[in-house]
Structure 1
Amino acid sequence: MCIAIPGMIKAIVDENTATVDMGGICRDVNMDLLGGATADLLGKYVLVHVGYAISEISKEESEETMRLLKQLSGLEDSNFFETGFSGEADVE
């Protein structure tokens, strides 16, 4: 099974890369499949799969997807998505 995580574009790194906040964890994501990283994408929401933004989505869809992921994982009452797997913020 494959899964894509929703996130908001926080910064443009270069013409191909943007920093995406996925539930409090920020990662640099390749934007080539969406035509590259441009300033008009700042603040927009995307689905990220294996380091690539694969689709632009609405804020509502992003929030609902994250809610469902938390519910499915049994973590809806935890801060897992804010701290990562080890309990430390922004784990590499």
Structure 2
Amino acid sequence: MCLGIPGEVVEILDDRPDLARVAVGGVRRNVNIALLDGEGVGPGDWILIHVGFALSKIDEAEARAALEFLEGIGQAYEDEIAALRESGID
């Protein structure tokens, strides 16, 4: 199962403005934010991530609700976090 997971933007990479460093479930990874061009994504913003791409900008309340739901479904969420730990966009 593939899930969209909320993550908090920590920084926009100076040399790659299409990439953001995002914190998700204790993991920090680079995420491609090119699909959100023009939405003003910056540190502190929450985004919905799927396979290394930000699909939408969401508010913190929506992010917290989604995380609570995902943590509640158990193994699928754990599998997604494990895949995130092993992935990398440079």
Which band: TM-score by shorter chain?
Answer: 0.7 to 0.9
Per-residue deviation, 1:3: 1.3
In the aligned structure 1, how far is the partner of 2:38 from the partner of 2:7?
A: 16
- Structure 1 residues without counterparts, runs of 5 or longer: 75-79
After the TM superposition, which parts of structure 1 deviate over 6 Å for at least 4 consecutive aligned residues?
Answer: none
In the aligned structure 1, how far is the partner of 2:68 from the partner of 2:46?
A: 15
Per-residue deviation, 1:91: 5.3
In the aligned structure 1, how far is the partner of 2:18 from the partner of 2:38?
A: 5
**Rg (Cα) greater in structure:** 1
Per-residue deviation, 1:15: 1.2
What TM-score do you get using the length of structure 1 for normalisation? 0.74
What TM-score do you get using the length of structure 2 for normalisation? 0.75
Per-residue deviation, 1:2: 3.4
- Structure with more of its chain in helix, by fraction: 2
In the aligned structure 2, how far is the partner of 1:66 from the partner of 1:43?
A: 16
Query: What is the percent sequence identity of the aligned residues?
Result: 33
- Structure 2 residues without counterparts, runs of 5 or longer: none
Give the number of aligned pairs.
Answer: 81
In the aligned structure 1, how far is the partner of 2:33 from the partner of 2:39?
A: 5
